[in-house]
Amino acid sequence: MTNVQSSAAVLSVVSPDTQHEIEQFLFYEARLLDEWRWRDWYDLLAEDIHYWMPTRKNRLRLRGFTGEVADGTQMSYFDEDKKSMAGRLTQMESGTHWAEDPPSRTRHLITNVWVSDVREENGAYTYDVCSYFLCYRNRLEAEVDIWAGRRDDVLRKTADGGYEIAKRTILLDQNVILSKTLSVFL
């Protein structure tokens, strides 16, 4: 088997229909965020969600290099569960959240979606999904932020045939966040 064939076998983990469903779910999620429909977005999160965005390290490629992200014990920008995310939403909806008054205009672009694994856990199918994102944010007259990176998600098939986000790891391509606030969801 050639490398091209073995790579194709790895990429065809799910049927084209399932791939399309997962992509449409991620595009719908982005639309909810861009339209400030945070409660609808919140409903897409599993009760046991882990929403994590670790800090990145700049390291030389020396012998023993193990990557830019540690095992989950280092600092992070976000390390949240559903309860803490509900608190953030309540704050954003309060009308007194200074970092979002006036609210940001965002555009979430999702691309390069691939499903690397599918398994059954407790009677539900879960999918390991990786995607690339670009989030453009504009606020006031001159505040512009652009975040790019990768999201590693675990999506769970729901009883109604939809999906929920059980886990999200966000890996920003930038090491230092230069924006004044990080009050949007990625």
**Two structure tokens written together for 22:** 């997962």
Summarize pLDDT for 87-102 with one digit per residue, the tens.
988 988 887 777 777 8
Summarize pLDDT for 35-83 with one digit per residue, the tens.
999 999 999 999 999 999 998 776 665 555 455 555 555 688 889 999 9
Which three-class secondary structure state does DSSP give residue 110? Answer: strand
All structural domains of the chain: 3-172 (3.10.450.50)
Say what the pLDDT of residue 125 is. 93
**What is the distance, to the nearest Å, from the Cα of residue 123 to the centroid of all Cα atoms in its chain?**
24
On whether the CB atoms of residues 161 and 178 are closer than 8 A, the answer is no
99 Cβ contact list (under 8 Å, min separation 6): 180, 181, 183
51 Cβ contact list (under 8 Å, min separation 6): 45, 78, 79, 80, 81, 85, 167, 168, 170
Residue among 171, 186, 76, 78 at smallest CA distance from 135: 186
Question: Mean pLDDT of all residues in the chain?
Answer: 86
Summarize pLDDT for 142-177 with one digit per residue, the tens.
889 999 999 999 999 999 999 999 999 999 998 878
pTM of the model: 0.85
d(CA 10, CA 185): 30
